[in-house]
Structures are given as structure tokens and as C-alpha cells.
Structure 1
Amino acid sequence: MRTAKRPLQSQASEAQKQAALRYILDAWEEALHDGIEPEMLANAALFAALADLIDLYGEDAVAKMTTGLSRRIHHGEFTLRRTAQ
């Protein structure tokens, strides 16, 4: 297992975070327009994100960070669009 290369903390400003999200969402929309299925995009995005995080912070730090994802998902932290129920 690899060790952490730096602390698992965001060093980016809020503006950089928003800009990064906009780039990803724009690319996502372009891929959808080109006929890529949302599930394929999601799997590729998760793989790429986790691979980059592991490269930056190490497997242990990323494993620790991902243990709290279920709680964060259930609290709506990752919900960009709310659907009518």
C-alpha cells in the first residue's frame, strides 16, 4: 500500500472548486450529447477521480475518506438536481 503524499485537505479556493465542477459538468453534457450513456460516464468519472486521489494522497487516506460517502450521499451532498417525487 502507498502512503499519503500530502494531507487529504482541499488547498483550492472555492472559485477553483466551482470552476473545476463547471469543466466536469460541461464535459459531461458534451459526452451525453455524443451518445455516451450516463452510467458509463459515472463509472469513468469515479474511476478517474479515485485514481487521481490515490496518486495524490495514497490508498489509506482515500479509503478513509470514502468510508463516509454513504452518510454524505444520504444527506444530499452530491445531489445536483432534485427530481419530483
Structure 2
Amino acid sequence: MTHTTAHTPDELDDLIVQEKLQVALEFQHDAWAESTADGIEPEIIADAAMITAIRETVRALGEEQAEALVESLRSRILAGEFSPERILQ
């Protein structure tokens, strides 16, 4: 017998966002791997990815929210959020 856990609408929304994020990260990983296989240096790929991300954030949310996102990156980097050694549970 399968036991299902009831989720609130907010929890379901959060799960959907997390699933979309995971898929987007997988697409990004694939693009990164393909680019490095084509001989593009990681620094160039990173620069292009950040330019695209910031440009699309400005387009979607405006300059103020893009600036807030960029400003939040410093504390997230210092907290180790992007470290390859970080273990997610």
C-alpha cells in the first residue's frame, strides 16, 4: 500500500520550483560540458553564462531586482553555497 503525504499549496509550489531548478541546472551542466568539449575555456563559459543570466534577469525583472540578485551573490559565495565540495541533502 502506498502512503501519500498531503502537501499544502505553498509546499507544492516550492517543490515545483525546486524541480524546475534541478532541470535548469542539468541543462546548464550539459551546455557547460559541451562547451568545454569544444575547447572553450571555463572562464569564458562562466563569463558568458553570467552575462546571459544578468541580461535575462534585467529583461524579466528589471534593473533593481537584477542588482539585488548580484549583490546577494557575495554573501552566498562566502557562505559556501556554490562550493563544489558542498553536500546537499
| TM-score by shorter chain over 0.5 | yes
| Matching residue of 1:26 | 30
RMSD across aligned positions (CA) = 1.5
Between the two proteins, the alignment pairs up a number of residues equal to 71
SS of 2:40's partner is: coil
**Unaligned stretches of 5+ in structure 1?**
1-9
Relative to its length, the structure with more helix (as a share) is 2
Q: Which has the higher contact order (CA 8 A, sep 6+)?
A: 1
What is the TM-score of this pair, normalised by structure 1?
0.77
Q: Which runs of 4+ in 1 moved over 4 A?
A: none
**Unaligned stretches of 5+ in structure 2?**
1-13
Structure 1 residue 62 corresponds to structure 2 residue 66: yes
Distance 1:66 1:76 in 2: 16
Match of residue 46, structure 1, among 30, 47, 50: 50
Structure with the greater alpha carbon radius of gyration: 2
State the percentage of identical aligned residues.
35
What is the TM-score of this pair, normalised by structure 2?
0.74
